[in-house]
């Protein structure tokens, strides 16, 4: 495994570990299967306590984690501190999910006569799928990596995790792993429920390992597609839940442009340059109406973007790819560069300079409509609802779409929403897509190529559903059923259920 690089200086950081061997991966996966038995044995309430203990252990190491992650990613202490808080919140949210219990989708159909004849006693519940492989993201070392939503939701489901260490922040991965193990140990687990593997080959072997039953991935389309194909090509194919990123469009309707041109322009700049544009939900395209309001919006956007200095990106390779992509788009027919940000503040750093380009309608194709990881925004103008509909039809699926509208735009907004709902997993109204709330209702996903499964989310309470599979018990004696399926479950096992077609709540 090659050493990580300090993005601010380009200097190699100390090597954290050698690549995992095939024998080590076998041992890790065998240990994970033993941990799965322990996670089942401690039950929902035991796992809830474990997740909370993990959150406590991460908090105890806050200063070291933030310092280490900042050295490896240059994301800054403030951003990383907020990210760690988010991760701790996710762990505690899944503790609530476990105690509440509706995620189990418990259903009881008693034996009896039906219009189709006698029905047997059938009871259904969700059970853990097994060991989960997790591939973290370069841009979220504390929220989408060894700790984070995939790991938290998998552990909550009762699935042990084998995490592939990200090469851009390995020391952060190791330190976070120590915290998770401390939390597990404090909860009485004897076997580590989270393990690490190192190296590119180890990642490929993890996806193909017989003990791994599902994979969560956050990263590029190219790598994600390779791994998704490998998961599907196994002798026993497994689910691969990849979040691959996308161009996220913002639609500004005429009355909104007239009423809030400067506000929207400044808000867009704050959003597309946030974290040096290294968010999967970064707005990549804004559609603006022709006219006075639209022109004022673009002027505000260009003025604000030109004042944003270049920022340090996650590493030299990412900064280089961003620079090459901007140059390629800028040289495309029908493209005009409207604004470039300020100069880098650190000599030799892996920097990314904000860019705003205008695209003619005929230029909206190819790489112009692909995700550009970094602080670049494409502006296109439309003349009337018909031309806007034509532009919307050009869009590929994405994680989000944003609409800025005023009450006067309501009729047009309905048509726009109808189009966008078929293409994205989250609609943002009069806001900005960067920032994904951790909540019960959140959906962070979208049709391919945004993700490999539009049915599921990687953020929010229902992220747990990816790591569960349904099992139906037919005429099984009640005393050996899962307690949540018995006619009179104990207080700790009483969960929301559907009994003979009727929703029944505890109590």
Q: Around Cβ 410, how many Cβ atoms within 10 Å?
A: 11
Is 60 designated active site?
Answer: no
Classify domain 42-244+453-467 at the CATH topology level. Aldehyde Dehydrogenase; Chain A, domain 1 (3.40.605)
pTM: 0.96
Q: Do 248-429 and 42-244+453-467 have the same topology in CATH?
A: no
The domain locations on the chain are: 42-244+453-467, 248-429
CA 327 to chain centre: 28
Residue 491: CA atoms inside 13 Å, Cβ hemisphere, count?
0
Q: Which helix (H) or strand (E) holds 128?
A: strand 122-128
pLDDT of 347: 59
Instruction: Choose, from 243, 296, 412, 484, the residue flagged as catalytic.
Output: 243
Instruction: Choose, from 159, 173, 280, 372, the residue flagged as catalytic.
Output: 280
Classify domain 248-429 at the CATH topology level. Aldehyde Dehydrogenase; Chain A, domain 2 (3.40.309)
The span from the CA of 160 to the CA of 133, in Å, is 9
* Residue 121 CB partners (closer than 8 Å, separation 6+): 109, 110, 111, 474, 475, 476
Tokens 């442009």, located at residue? 257
Is 11 designated active site?
Answer: no
Q: What is the mean pLDDT of each run of 10 residues along the chain (507 residues)?
A: 85 94 97 97 97 98 98 96 98 98 98 94 98 96 96 98 97 98 96 97 97 97 96 97 94 98 98 96 97 97 96 93 95 95 68 95 93 97 96 96 97 95 97 96 96 96 98 97 95 94 93
pLDDT of 127: 98
The span from the CA of 247 to the CA of 371, in Å, is 4
pLDDT of 10: 87
């Amino acid at each position: 495994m090659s050493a990580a690089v300090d993005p601010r200086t380009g200097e190699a950081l100390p090597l954290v570990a050698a690549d995992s061997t095939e024998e080590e991966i076998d041992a890790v996966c065998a240990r994970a299967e033993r941990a799965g038995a322990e996670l089942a044995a401690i039950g929902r309430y035991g796992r809830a306590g474990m997740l909370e203990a993990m959150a406590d252990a991460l908090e105890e190491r806050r200063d070291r984690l933030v310092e280490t992650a900042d050295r490896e990613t240059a994301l800054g202490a403030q951003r990383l501190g907020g990210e760690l808080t988010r991760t701790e919140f996710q762990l505690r949210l899944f503790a609530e999910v476990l105690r509440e219990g509706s995620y189990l989708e418990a259903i009881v159909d008693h034996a009896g006569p039906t219009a189709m004849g006698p029905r047997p006693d059938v009871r259904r519940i969700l059970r853990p799928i097994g060991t989960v492989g997790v591939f973290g993201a370069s841009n979220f070392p504390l929220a989408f990596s060894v700790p984070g939503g995939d790991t938290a939701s998998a552990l909550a489901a009762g699935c042990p995790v084998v995490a592939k260490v990200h090469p851009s922040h390995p020391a952060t991965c190791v330190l976070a792993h120590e915290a998770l193990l401390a939390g597990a140990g404090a909860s009485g687990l004897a076997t580590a429920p989270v393990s690490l593997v190192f190296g590119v080959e180890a990642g490929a072997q993890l996806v193909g390992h017989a003990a791994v039953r599902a994979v969560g991935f956050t990263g590029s389309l190219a790598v994600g597609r390779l791994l998704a194909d490998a998961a599907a090509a196994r002798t026993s194919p497994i689910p691969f839940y990849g979040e691959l990123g996308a161009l996220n469009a913002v639609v500004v309707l005429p009355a909104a442009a007239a009423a809030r041109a400067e506000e929207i322009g400044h808000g867009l700049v704050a959003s597309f340059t946030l974290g040096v544009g290294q968010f999967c939900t970064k707005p990549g395209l804004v559609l603006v109406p022709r006219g006075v309001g639209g022109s004022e919006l673009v002027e505000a956007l260009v003025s604000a973007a030109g004042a944003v200095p270049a920022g340090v990106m996650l590493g030299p390779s990412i900064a280089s790819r961003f620079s090459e992509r901007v140059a390629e788009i800028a040289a495309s027919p029908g493209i005009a560069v409207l604004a470039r940000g300020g100069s880098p503040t650190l000599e030799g750093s892996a920097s990314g300079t904000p860019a705003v380009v205008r695209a003619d309608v005929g230029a909206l194709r190819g790489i112009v409509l692909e995700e550009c990881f970094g602080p670049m925004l494409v502006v296109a103008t439309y003349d009337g609802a018909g031309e806007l509909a034509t532009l919307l039809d050009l869009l590929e699926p994405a994680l989000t779409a944003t609409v800025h509208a005023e009450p006067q735009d309501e009729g047009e907004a309905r048509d726009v929403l109808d189009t966008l709902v078929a293409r994205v997993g989250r609609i943002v109204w009069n806001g900005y897509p960067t920032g994904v709330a951790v909540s019960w209702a959140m959906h962070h996903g979208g049709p391919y190529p945004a993700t490999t499964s539009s049915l599921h989310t990687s953020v929010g309470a229902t992220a747990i559903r990816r790591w569960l599979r349904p099992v139906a018990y037919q005429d099984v004696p009640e005393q050996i059923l899962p307690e949540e399926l018995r006619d009179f479950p104990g207080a700790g096992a009483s969960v929301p259920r559907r009994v003979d077609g009727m929703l029944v709540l505890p109590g």
